[in-house]
Structure 1
Amino acid sequence: MPSRMTAGLLLTRPEADSRRFAAMLPEFRAVISPVLRIEPVAHDAARLRAARGLVFTSAHAVASAGPGRGRLALCVGGRTAQVAREAGFETREGNGFADSLFPLIESAETPLIHPHGRYLARELPVEGMVVYDQIAQPLNEDARALLAGEAPVLLPLFSPRSARLLAGYMTDCRAELWIAAISPAVAQAWQGPSGRQIIAETPIAGAMISAIRLMAGMEQS
């Protein structure tokens, strides 16, 4: 197995998310090239600010709901819950999978609204509201150079849509890909070049970090 120091790390989430993730893997040379840009869209902001309960499947939606003021927020996982708590919400969190929100929704004793992006991986049994768009972006020059090189490239995949977009950008890829998917659904969405592949045990950042290090031979299974 090639040394971990020869492998590049290609991070394609929005800039802030990618920088935070790169900081958890300082041993790798990271190239950041977001394939999605988050852009707010017009929505009924007053209604969201007045809602007694919110469902958040992404931290990107939290700001759209305004100050928490102790309101209920059902959050898909730990990172989203952290952002919601910092905004002043009373949070209940799932395990990272959308399915884990269903019992939380059923047990909630207040009407709920789900602010979300234009592209939604999973419908929930509550009223939804689009509050941001996820606009596709091409890979930058540094990312293309990394993929055209001879060293392996670690490629974390965090959503079905980003997996599909990235697969379409791989026509000139020469590097061996080491793919870490955050869930089986994300792994299934990948239709790009084959390579080593691992699925995180749970859909959280810590599990993705462990999966990447395991793939690179830095942790024992």
Structure 2
Amino acid sequence: MPDSRPTLLLTRPIAQSRRFAAAFAARFGEDWPVLIAPMQQIVALAPAVPQAREVIFTSENAVVPLQALSPAAGRRAWCVGARTAAAAAQTGFAPVAGPGDAAALAKAILAARPTGPLLLARGAHQAFDIAAKLNAAGIETFSAQVYAQEARPLSAGGLALLAGMTPVLVPLFSPRSARLFAEAAANAGAPLRIAAISPATARVCVKLGSAMVETAAQPEAESMLDALARLMAG
């Protein structure tokens, strides 16, 4: 018999998609239909990096590119969440794990009032400009784009899923990811069940019309799995 369950469609870069697929399988079963079809690719860059006492990471994707350009050597690294903090620790930084999103991390840094300058290692696309927030509050913060998130078209397999009749589960982890997916899914025939990591991400999905959207309670993988569970039950 054909599998009538929704298919999980993962559009993050390949490493993050595989990790989330493993977490999904651990919770919902190894035999669940899953398609990994990345719509972004992470490419390391090599810009000139300003001198700074401490660093800020709002994505784990920035850790290795920065470490290749500027030594870790136990420097304090303000990290958006636990996974980014773990990546920073592995490369030699002394991480401080934040609460999960850049705006909340900015508040934590402001409360600590570190002596600048700080360096934000970032990608080309930001949902929240943490450097601007800190500079406005008097904490000197430089910014260096150490990686790019290059857009990729949805794969033929992904397009076939969207053209079908079986519901598709789609976790989206940033407003940009949501924009890229919304463009690819503009004429989708399949029922879409979208888990959004933030209200800003969910707002982008409004353009998909009839899609069911659940927003994660916290910007973390476990809350995204909770949101997917609600969509599967609905």
TM-score, normalised to structure 2, is: 0.85
1:109-188 to structure 2, matched below 5 A, reads: 109-124=115-130, 125=134, 126-188=141-203
1:14 deviates by 0.1
Check if 1:83 corresponds to 2:87: yes
1:187 deviates by 0.5
CA-to-aligned-CA distance 1:49-80 (integer Å, 9 cap, x gap): x6331100000000122152211000111111
Partner-residue secondary structure (3-state), 1:179: strand
Distance in 1 of aligned mates of 2:64 and 2:191: 39
Partner-residue secondary structure (3-state), 2:233: coil
CA contact (8 A) 2:57 2:120 kept: yes
| Count of paired positions | 212
- Pick the aligned partner of 1:102 from 85, 98, 106: 106
1:104 deviates by 3.0
Out of 94-103 and 152-161, give the one that drifted further: 94-103
1:179 deviates by 0.7
1:12 is aligned to 11
In structure 2, list runs of 5 or more residues that go unmatched.
135-140
Q: Which amino acid in structure 1 is aligned with residue 233 of structure 2? A: G
2:137 is aligned to none
Distance in 2 of aligned mates of 1:153 and 1:24: 18
Q: Which amino acid in structure 1 is aligned with residue 63 of structure 2? A: V
Q: Which has the higher helix share?
A: 2
After TM superposition, where is structure 1 displaced by more than 4 Å over at least 4 residues in a row?
A: none
CA contact (8 A) 1:167 1:193 kept: no
1:207 is aligned to 223
Distance in 1 of aligned mates of 2:4 and 2:75: 46
CA contact (8 A) 2:45 2:65 kept: no
CA contact (8 A) 1:56 1:114 kept: yes
Out of 209-218 and 124-133, give the one that drifted further: 209-218
Q: Equivalent pairs: percent with the same residue?
A: 41
